[in-house]
Amino acid sequence: MRDRVAIAGVGETEYRPWGGVTDRSEFQLACEAILAASADAGLSPHDLDGFASYANDRNDAPRLAAALGCAELRFSGMVWDGGGGGVCAAVAHAAHAIHAGAASAVAVVRALCQGQFGRFGRIGGRAPGRQAAAPSVPPGFAYALPMGLLSPAAMCALIVRRHMHEFGTTHHQMGHVAVAARGHAQLNPRAVMHGRPLTLEEHAAARLIADPFRLHDCCLETDGACALILVSAERARDLRRRPVHVLAAAEGGEGAWGASLYTHAAPAPPYPSANLAPVARRLWAMAGCGPADIDVAQVYENFTGMVLLALEDLGFCARGEGGPFVEDGKLAGPAGALPLNTAGGNLAEAYVHGLNLVLEGVRQMRGESTCQVRDAELCLVAGGPGVAPTSALVLRRG
């Protein structure tokens, strides 16, 4: 698959705080994002013959194909569960379908409008003012609910707290992730947190959510949708925009983890980690490059502390050194040693289960980011840390 498939178009709706979209349905947002991505690529939505998504996205492929007027539906793919871990895997599945000849133009889409549905993490609850059915509870929660683990924040807090105990990681170090993301959002008018900068002092003083996470350690809750269009690299050369090649993609994780946020397999050798190390080994082998070659990175931030573990697993620093690694402005783009989440990421741009991170990677490779890294040729995108399965991509400038 290496360099055989390209991202030809990207599109998104506006991003609003949780519950902020009341004038359209979540399905309409998905269609809007796909239409925008198709226009960006110079394609008609009728040209699409495949759809891919993840995290049990509610907008199924047959309904999208019918609404968009697709001539034929040849491929549909869903990366089940894993939350934001599946973001890069969905792109990979679309790329595999094109490379195998199963489809010619695949849209990867994620729409998230939780104000219209039961909210992720609201166990047994309903969206305020809505009559939607409560979300189903995954089987793994049988291990978590009796112990009071009612949210991803509490589940990831256990992993990070263990990392702090073993390696001396500090909450101040996590603050560098949050402050860098918020700084990048000040350059991005699309970002929900545009116009709202953050200091390390404000990060440290915010209210506690789940020890050690405070308010600004946690990803946003937003409404919105985004999409991207993949075609063969050969076809992409004749389309409207500069193509961005999918150099490598990998998904999975340590088998012993299972649904790691629920079961917390503490006896397993990788614990505490982001469950990205086995994915990273296969990713770098496929890409023919390594962490030192990456110009800019988009790493899923469900919580700041999990980013430190992800950077370790991905090979940017040794195990236990994620905290010191992010200090001294390394993450602040565009001139940092490793510019991270240059549109603001899940912490400051929007939370669309991380697909907006892939869009920002594409913009970096096109030279169109609001926080552009000079002469960037390779971008790493990594999915949700601490979940199973998770996934990662390496994008290359075309």
| H or E element at residue 106 | strand 106-112
Domain boundaries, the chain: 5-117+219-397
DSSP structure string for 198-260: --HHHHHHSPEEETTEEGGGB---EEEEEEEEEEEHHHHTTSSS--EEEEEEEEE--GGGSSH
**Mean pLDDT computed over 124-132:** 51
Per-residue confidence band for 140, with pLDDT thresholds at 50, 70 and 90: low
Report how far residue 4's alpha carbon sits from residue 237's, in angstroms, rounded to the nearest whole number.
12
Q: Is the pLDDT of residue 269 over 90?
A: no
Burial classification of residue 28, based on how many CB atoms lie within 10 Å of its CB (0-12 exposed, 13-18 middle, 19 or more buried) = middle
Report how far residue 327's alpha carbon sits from residue 171's, in angstroms, rounded to the nearest whole number.
12
Is 271 a catalytic site residue? no
Residue with the two structure tokens 């269609």: 31
- How far lies 144's CA from each of 55, 137, 155, 276, 287, in Å? 20, 11, 8, 22, 37
- How far lies 151's CA from each of 66, 141, 239, 271, in Å? 36, 10, 44, 19
Residue with the two structure tokens 């991380």: 354
Is 262 a catalytic site residue? no
Residue 234: per-residue pLDDT:
96
- Which residues, in sequence order, are bridge partners of residue 210? 213
* Residues contacting 247, CB < 8 A, separation 6+: 2, 3, 286, 287, 289, 378, 394, 395, 396
Q: Maximum distance among all alpha carbons in the chain?
A: 57
- Per annotation, catalytic residue among 15, 54, 262, 351: 351
- Say what the pTM is: 0.94
Q: What percent of the chain has pLDDT over 90?
A: 79
> What are the pLDDT digits (tens) for 362-378?
999 999 999 999 999 99
- Which residues, in sequence order, are bridge partners of residue 378? 396
- Per annotation, catalytic residue among 15, 262, 271, 300: 300
| From the candidate CATH numbers 3.40.47.10, 3.40.640.10, 3.40.50.720, 3.90.1150.10, the one assigned to the domain spanning 5-117+219-397 | 3.40.47.10
Pick from 1-5, 73-77, 318-322: least confident? 1-5
Angle, CA of 267, 259 and 51, to the nearest 5°: 150
> What are the pLDDT digits (tens) for 339-356?
999 999 999 999 999 999
Pick from 38-47, 132-141, 182-191: least confident? 132-141
Per-residue confidence band for 261, with pLDDT thresholds at 50, 70 and 90: low
* C-alpha closest to that of 90 among 40, 120, 38, 55: 55
Dihedral (CA of 272, 274, 277, 278) sign: positive
